[in-house]
Amino acid sequence: MNINDFEWKTEDQWLELVLKETQRQLEEELDYKDRFKNDALETQREMWEELGSVSITNGLEQIVSFMGFVDRMKYQKRNHEVTRTLQEKYERMLKAPYFGRIDFHENGEEKAEKYYIGMSNLMNEDYDFLIYDWRAPVSSMFYDYEIGKAGYQCAEGTIEGDLTLKRQYKINEGKMEYMFDSNLKIDDEMLQEILGKGTDSKMKAIVTTIQREQNRVIRNEEYKNLIVQGPAGSGKTSIALHRIAYLLYKHRDKITPKNIVIFSPNQIFNDYISNVLPQLGEDNMLQSTFKEYMHKALGNRFIKEDYYDMMEFIFTGKKSFDYKIRIKNIKYKSSLEFIDVLKRHVEKTEKADRNFKDIIFRDNLIVSSKEIEELYYKDYIRFPLKRRLDKIRERILFLLKPYEEERKNEIYENLWDTGSFVDEMEVKEKAAALITEETKYVYEEIRRITKFDLLDIYKKLFKKLEPEIKNYTLRKLQSNFLNYEDQVPMLYLKGAFGDFPKTTEIKYVIIDEAQDHTPLQYEIFYQLFGHANITMLGDLNQSINPYMNVGNYNNIAHIFPQDNTCIINLTKSYRSTMEITEFSRRILDDEVNAQYVERSGEKPIVLGYSQENSINERVLKDIEMYKEKGYKSIGIITRTVKEADGVYSFLKDKTEVKALTKEDDEYVNGTLVIPAYLAKGLEFDVVVVYNAGNVNYSSEEDRLLLYTACTRALHILNVYYTGCLTPLMERIIQD
């Protein structure tokens, strides 16, 4: 809708008023900041003058005074941090204080109220709201409603009325560039402009273009557990991060970023998303990967294979003598059948006879085998195995201690009476050595009956399993090497037997790329965080590991309470042009009916070459050409690390390029060579799928990996190959 001159003038005046108030509050915070800095310096001066050098020899009074100064400095530091955060907020607001406005006529009121919506709240000295935070209850109408009947939920209940105006703004460096009214939804005009731009170095906030279906996930607190399924480019990760920002805003009196953890696919991705929450004025939550948590929990006893080393084996190891048995092994240990085997093994292990014996020290019965059985099977039965054994050990040691102390004193007196020692210290050391020797066999028996050996328990699991899997697994375990597929069940057993650290401080869990976790991994997530709210976001069509994935969300339905779990399907893709989206979807066996933004661009290019060196030369030309056209990010996506290393070796002395081949590599913008399974979640202005011939992508297991690679492209997609084109693209060529 056109906006007349009077409206333009009114809006300019409002923007000027907002900027003036923002500047005033910024200067106030800067003044506070200087004051806090001076106070801190004064406190340090006073402490030095009054106390000088602090030492315990100067007495308790000086220590008490010192701690008083420390408390003052901590208080000053907290004030300084709050001021710094507000300073950053106002500096952001001076550039773009708001992006939307709604006029809402609440039922029963005389006239409509104006609500300007931005990244943060802004109130004047009279406590009038000039800007409402996008997460405020009233702001939800900006995302959820068209002009007409509308409403929102707040502490007072449901507020209903009519939305009479919805307006969007583009403000840059404090200047109004344009504005327009929307009778429908936040859609093409602003969305097309944002989607049509090149990517930046990291993922950005999307508050100005959040769609209704995305907003439904971000603000959903009706269910404890959410499973969000969405096509490539539907904004799942952005939704996850904005959901975290929303939760921190709404529950700021109950939770902090330390109460939220996000499990991402790898550290590259963690780095890629690290700027979003700071842009929204929040500190980053805890970030981890499943592998990182698992490796830490399993400790240093074993040599542990990385997830992406397993992926590289799957894609490159077909000529290995044990390839078939390894794949069979991976499939079986990722199956629902194996979960049942594990659960039965846990039950059997807890009920097994542990051959308890009487604990006797110097003819004194410390505790009988019958009493230990009572503790194990009755008194401590509510505890899982590891904690049960720990409590039994603690109980026996408690009962043993008086006898041990009595004997130690007896030995000490006998040694002292001999007069053969220089001083008391020497006698004590000798007595301690003798009592250690006398109790050695008692402690060995205590260790035996309370022993918890995770590896031994895991090995026993395979006694009655299929010989091929049994022999392969035991051979690997014997060499002190843990294949990735063995780490997950061992972690499950560790949790089932109560050997996990406490995680009660975690209130919200976000699991990104949910399709790439197996049902057994979800059992572990629930072991760890069953008390927390869990949001899982994924796309079944982007399962990069053909053998270790969720398969279907029905496979994990039994884990989460059905009455408190909701599946939400996102229906629209925003990342790629129409041409790239349609091209990519034809790779899949099943039709994807999700909608997409009708943003047109160049058709994907598919070209064959006689040899890889010719592809390399073409890629080099592409890099220079697309850089000249202004594209900021170019992804050369290979199938494997080995292939990525080869491409990088060719390009590195000819153009500016970086290879990301390890999951802990730092993400950088520009031209990157990266294997497909590390590229999930990332996006590039230009994507070159490197050598999509039938040698690289030949089987059904490769279909979703190829689809994932193609859907990383925003504007340009080129597919090059040698030999014959992959049969997975037959539908595209036929069309």
pLDDT of residue 404: 92
Residue 674: the pLDDT is: 97
SS (H, E, C) 22-38: HHHHHHHHHHHHHHHHH
Q: What is the mean pLDDT of each run of 10 residues along the chain (735 residues)?
A: 82 96 93 72 65 55 60 69 85 95 96 96 95 97 94 93 94 93 59 61 84 95 97 95 96 96 94 92 94 95 94 93 96 97 96 94 95 96 95 97 92 81 80 90 95 96 93 94 97 96 94 98 97 97 96 95 96 94 90 84 96 97 97 96 97 96 89 96 96 93 95 97 93 73
pTM of the model: 0.90
Taking the alpha carbons of 103, 104, 105, 108 in that order, is the dihedral positive or negative? Answer: negative
Per-residue model confidence (pLDDT) at position 186? 47
Helix pair angle (519-529, 484-496), 10° resolution: 30
Buried b (16+ CB within 10 A) or exposed e, 483-521: bbbbbbbbbbbbbbbbbbeeeeebbbbbbbbbbbbbbbb
Q: What does the pLDDT read at residue 3?
A: 78
**514: which residues sit within 8 A by CB, 6+ positions away?**
227, 228, 536, 537, 538, 550
Pair 689, 698: CB distance under 8 Å: no
Give the chain's end-to-end CA distance (angstroms, integer): 40
Distances from the Cα of 464 to the Cαs of 330, 460, 469, 471, in angstroms? 18, 9, 10, 11
Asked if 729 contacts 589 with a C-beta cutoff of 8 angstroms, the reply is no
What are the tokens at 734? 């036929």
Query: Beta strand 113-118 with 100-106: parallel, antiparallel or unpaired?
Result: antiparallel
CB-neighbour burial class of residue 721 (10 A; exposed 0-12, middle 13-18, buried 19+): buried
CA 150, CA 142: separation in Å to the nearest integer? Answer: 10
pLDDT at 49 (0 to 100): 62
State the pLDDT at residue 272.
Answer: 92
**CA gap 145, 162 in Å, rounded:** 10
SS3 673: strand
**pLDDT score recorded for residue 188:** 54
Per CATH, the number for 578-734 is 3.40.50.300
